[in-house]
Amino acid sequence: MPVTSAIEIQQKAIQVLQADADKILKLIEVQMKNLTMPQCPLYEEVLDTQMFGLSREIDFAVRLKLVQEDTGKRILQELERKLSELNQLYQEQIQK
Amino acid sequence: MPVTSAIEIQQKAIQVLQADADKILKLIEVQMKNLTMPQCPLYEEVLDTQMFGLSREIDFAVRLKLVQEDTGKRILQELERKLSELNQLYQEQIQK
């Protein structure tokens, strides 16, 4: 296994987590653009599963002290904010 | 954040993954001991969820080159073997 420095590992950890968060963000945005389609419960489950997976990755990185707890929380909170925005749009859609 | 060496991070990564795998193993063993109880689908879902969470942690560790791919696979395969053993026991239980 190639030896890298602890600093490099920490930087890579943030990059990987952010890349995974961005993938989920894209899923949410795709869903937002397709609001005219009927709400698909499977889609919600996919998002839930992806969020859970990411939270486990973040938790693991925090336990290894690769990422600060606050940084990890911020990544998740940003996604949760976006998700609740999506749910808000759905509610408005239903009421129309 | 305290600075540790890359080697220490790799060692810690294996420890954390193994500890998480052991937790799942305990869940499986508890379930094996309680085979006289009716099979609980929720329990299966808990195990599935935990396995998925662990696989994401392992995948993350491999991507950061903290753990070799083979090592990660071995941890998961050991649990899968134990899980199929549990399922086998259930099948025998049903046939009685």
d(CA A19, CA B1): 22
pTM: 0.85
**Would an 8 Å CB–CB cutoff place B9 in contact with chain A?**
yes
Q: What is the 3-state secondary structure (H, E, C) of chain B?
A: CCCCCHHHHHHHHHHHHHHHHHHHHHHHHHHHHCCCCCCCHHHHHHHHHHHHHHHHHHHHHHHCCCCCHHHHHHHHHHHHHHHHHHHHHHHHHHHC
For B40-70, write each residue's pLDDT tens digit.
667 788 899 999 999 999 999 999 999 999 9
For A22-44, write each residue's pLDDT tens digit.
999 999 888 888 776 656 667 78
ipTM: 0.83
Superfamily of domain B19-28+35-95: SO2669-like (1.10.287.750)
Interface test with A, best of B3, B58, B64, B68 (most A CBs within 10 A): B64
**Would an 8 Å CB–CB cutoff place B23 in contact with chain A?**
no
The domain segmentation of chain B, as residue ranges, is 19-28+35-95
